[in-house]
Structure 1
Amino acid sequence: MASGSLHHAWLFAGPEGIGKASFARAAALRLLAEGAGAVLPPGFEVPDDNVQRKLIAAGSHPDYRELTRQPKEGDKTGLDLARSIPIAQVRGLGPMFATRPSMSERRVVIIDAVDDLERPGASNALLKNLEEPPQGTIFLLISHAPGRLLPTIRSRCRQLRFDPLGDDAMTSVLRERLPSADPAEIAALVRMAHGSPGRALGFAGLDLAALDAALSAIAQSGDPDNRRRVKLARSLALKAAQPRYEAFLERAPAFIAAAAPRLRGERLRTALDGYDAARTLAATARALTLDAQATVYEMAGIVARLAR
């Protein structure tokens, strides 16, 4: 950016929830602010009273577009999103590209995430723009799985890789964002998020420390009378507990994986087989919408095999 010779298309690649889209929005604002003549210190900061910032926040900047999956028709919560970004959204960039940028010589288009583009139509429509980029336009493409993109899209982009955060950085971020969370909850979020602050914040407030405690008790005792498993299954089967159930499906396989390095011999084999079984069960439960209570009971049974 500072050199003035920025490539026209960038692929921000890395696991979901580690800040790729946040970085893209910060870069887009900085590009548009500098393009409009703002004199700014080095870095990405742009003052709160900057006109470009206000226009982007209001959704009315003529030189900025952000393509994302939209809520389904009739959804009033804004949470039930379409499965993909359709070709109509990509083609909707046409009127903007038909004219020169309005406020400077720059335009910025963010696609979050380019993995969600409808194939083949939307992907091919984007490819045409990348092959013949409109003058002054910078594309910032977010990808959680760049290997699944069309090779022709990848080949026209410079790639910037984002890596998961380490535990210390994760703890620092979560303490800043969740000042009222206790240390046990922060530690549980760090263990579960695998270096992704976005994932951790999505699970915040779900008392993951209690889930970990329940799994530990089952793993240590083997739960011979099934009481712990039944209690956990019933608590996560309630409709209001759906977010905690989703968290449990992610946490249980990771819990087994974390226990495996401490084991030897037959117990290690049991843990490795249990990890495979837990991952398969979690994936199947999501894909087929299996009964939550039965799924939790079965998953807890896999964890119980870790006991001596």
Structure 2
Amino acid sequence: MTVIGHDAEVATFHEALLSGRLHHAWLLTGPEGVGKGTFARAAALWMLARAAGPEPVGGGFTVDPAHRIAHLFDAGSHPDFKLLRRLPKDKSEELARSITIDQVRTLQPMFATSPSLSPRRVVLIDAVDDLERGGANALLKNLEEPPTGTIFLLVSHAPGRLLPTIRSRCRLLRFSPLAEENSARVLRAALPESDAGEIAALAAIAEGAPGQAIRFAGLDIDGLDRAIDRIAREGDATGLQRLALAKQLSGKAAQARYEAFLERAPGRIAQSAREGGDIEAKVALWSQARSIADGAVRLSMDQQTTVYEVAGLLAKLAG
């Protein structure tokens, strides 16, 4: 498990642990998709392996995959590690809206005993923003009276939404967007079957958050962006470009590209607004496009009609 592009954050964590002043709770903040969750899992494994022995060798959070603790961790059966995240609804792939208070309560039996394999125990919540109110209050009690040897790693994309009392109990570690070359390294590791052209295109649209760009793999986002950009720059007086794009993005097989279009098109309008011109008019276009995009999938709106309408808003950028 390799942490890419966050050397300063790794060094900060190392220094805190090796100095003997490791805070019991860390709030890992920054944009979604920059690698906070990967950092947290790697840090958790490294701490558990180091505490149980033999001590990992190498820089960063390097742990030999053959290490006995790595085997338990990768199998999800380490008794001193607990991961809380949103669970699938029923038997579907759709995730629940929140991390429930019942999930937080599952920590109590673990806290009632000493750690099993070493003096160290780690609880990772990804993301703590997803805690329902009752769960947040239950977690706060644990942060106020932390069990001996327990380290809490709390991933947050929007720390301003958290209870101030939770934030005040944590040491803050901020993560910035990655440089494009580091985004490309993350994407190459995550998508080994993708060619260099796709990796470059995904790294460019990632804007420093490769975790967000991974879901676009295999969708020819570069080609989709070119079609969006052409309509935005040249307009579409005949409507033929919009019609062709609407046909391409309709049907069950095109669902993923259709949803990508709904996300990319408003972003192209926002980009135009940042470049200047009639900013008030462009913001109004962006608001319309965002409103349509937000409701399109949820309301099962007709795909062709939706694409044609949003592309029409893009065309207005060309005057």
TM-score (norm 1): 0.90
Q: What SS is found at the alignment partner of 1:237?
A: coil
Please give the alpha-carbon distance, in whole angstroms, between the structure 2 residues aligned to 1:23 and 1:7. 16
In structure 1, the residue matched to 2:154 is: 141
| Aligned counterpart for 1:123 among listed residues 113, 122, 136 | 136
Partner of 2:253: 240
**1:270·1:305 contact (CA, 8 Å) conserved in 2?**
no
| Aligned partner (choices 250, 253, 262) of residue 266 of structure 2 | 253
2:96 aligned partner:
82
- Which of residues 59, 80, 85 is equivalent to 2:76? 59
**2:294 is aligned with 1:283:** yes
1:217 aligns with 2:230: yes
In the alignment, what sits opposite 1:292? 303
Q: CA RMSD in A?
A: 2.1
Aligned-pair distance for 1:261?
Answer: 5.2
Q: 2:109 aligns with which of 95, 104, 118?
A: 95
The alpha-carbon deviation at position 255 of structure 1 amounts to 1.7
User: How many angstroms apart in 1 are the aligned matches of 2:200 and 2:318?
Assistant: 23
Structure 1 distance, partners of 2:196, 2:315, is 27
Structure 1 SS opposite 2:177: coil
Question: How many residues are paired up?
Answer: 302
Quote the Cα distance in structure 1 between the aligned partners of 2:195 and 2:287. 32
- CA, structure 1 residues 39+183, in 2 after alignment: closer, same or farther (shift >3 Å)? closer
Whole-angstrom CA distance in 2 between matches of 1:232 and 1:135:
59
Distance 1:173 1:56 in 2: 22
Cα distance in 1 between the residues matched to 2:221 and 2:45 = 36
Percent of aligned pairs sharing the same letter: 58
1:58–1:184 CA distance, 2 compared to 1 (3 A): closer
Deviations 1:131-175 (A, max 9, x none): 111111000011111100111111101111111112233234334
Letter in 1 for 2:260: A
2:173 counterpart letter in structure 1:
L
Unaligned runs of 5+ in 1: none
Note the alpha carbon deviations across 1:173-217, whole angstroms, 9 max, x for none.
Answer: 334544554555344423432211111111111111121121123
Change (3 A) 1:59 1:184: closer
CA contact (8 A) 1:270 1:306 kept: no
Map of 2:145 onto structure 1: 132
Alpha-carbon offset, residue 241 of structure 1: 1.8
For 2:222 and 2:164, the matched residues in 1 are separated by: 42
Contact 1:12 1:161 in 2 (8 A): yes
Contact in 2 for aligned 1:236/1:293 (Cα 8 Å): yes
**CA distance 1:166–1:230, change in 2 (3 Å):** same
C-alpha change, 1:184 and 1:33, in structure 2 (3 Å) is: closer
Are 1:304 and 2:315 counterparts? yes
Question: Structure 2: 5+ residue runs without aligned partners?
Answer: 1-16
Shift of 1:282: 2.4
Q: Aligned letter for 1:301? A: G
Q: 1:136 to 1:261 in 2, by over 3 A?
A: closer
